[in-house]
Amino acid sequence: MINTTRVLSTLRADASGPTAAVPPYDHVWVVIPARNEQSSLPYVLNDLPHVGRVLVVDNGSTDATASVALSGHADVIFQSRRGYGSACLAGLAHIDQLVRYGETRPDIIVFLDGDYSDHPDELALLVDPILKNEADFVLGSRLLGNRDAGAMPPQSIYGNKLACFLMRWFWKANYTDLGPFRAIRYDALKQLEMSDTNFGWTVEMQIKATTAGLRIKEVPVSYRRRIGQSKISGTIRGTIMAGYKILYTIARYRLQTWRTR
């Protein structure tokens, strides 16, 4: 069970805020996992187009991440259990709770990082193919798009290519990246029954989207050097742990596929 310890919501009456609902994105909700991103989060929130809701999941920050998010007209969900997947799951649990209590359900959920490495202003590239009924799941590929020099270290590029090669080999999935910037239909996301609590979240979604028969589209997106040090590729331990978990997740779901057959 997701340990969502506390929820803070802002009044979203100020139409100048990034969460003000302006068609056609009033049924698009954005989930931003964040830990100690007080320096970068204002830029992320400022660059987002107008959407229905922005949910920042504070994943155990020791800085002013939550206060910055509230100032930027976002909802804040606190998830004390560390892990990228844990933060995403907490965001989804909060969305489900809002829907159960009568909030108009979102059509599309967008995920992006809070470190300003993604380009929030490119959200339309991911959302529009879904709105046009051309796809159910759209992945922003950093390897197909424009990247700042050094934005992705060599080990990150190699790891992404290896993971995508394995998914293509095992499931004929045509991915080029495990990018965090992605959009998916809310109903389709619910069907995937996501469960990973850390580094395997992105690859789990891509494998499950493939095996579920979702219409999948990749689009090139821009990628810049993040503000601050990466918690994964910026450390040796983070790189090893992320690589291990991604490969473990691929092996786990491949074994499940064999057993099903």
What are the chain's domains? 4-152+177-229 (3.90.550.10)
pLDDT the model gives residue 148? 95
Taking only the tens place, the pLDDT of each residue in 2-44 is 344 344 443 333 434 444 444 579 999 999 999 999 999 999 9
Is the pLDDT confidence value at 186 over 80?
yes
pLDDT the model gives residue 239? 67
pLDDT the model gives residue 260? 67
Q: 172-195 burial, b for 16+ CB within 10 Å, e for fewer?
A: ebebbbbbbbbbbbbebbbebebe
Taking only the tens place, the pLDDT of each residue in 53-102 is 999 999 999 999 999 999 999 999 999 999 999 999 999 999 999 999 99
Phi, psi for residue 213 in degrees, rounded to 5: 75, 25
Identify the band that residue 129 occupies on the pLDDT scale cut at 50, 70 and 90. very high
Q: Is the pTM of this model over 0.85?
A: yes
Averaged pLDDT, 117-142: 98
pLDDT the model gives residue 5? 38
pLDDT the model gives residue 29? 98
Between the two ends of the chain, the Cα-to-Cα distance in Å is: 30
pLDDT the model gives residue 203? 97
Is the pLDDT confidence value at 113 over 70?
yes
pLDDT the model gives residue 157? 93
Beta bridge partners of 21: none
pLDDT the model gives residue 237? 63
> How far, CA to CA in Å, does 167 sit from each of 73, 148, 193, 215, 249?
38, 26, 19, 16, 11
Cβ 30 vs Cβ 54: under 8 Å: yes
Cβ 177 vs Cβ 141: under 8 Å: yes
Is the pLDDT confidence value at 48 over 90?
yes
pLDDT the model gives residue 83? 94
User: Which segment of 41-55, 154-168, 223-237 scores lowest on mean pLDDT?
Assistant: 223-237
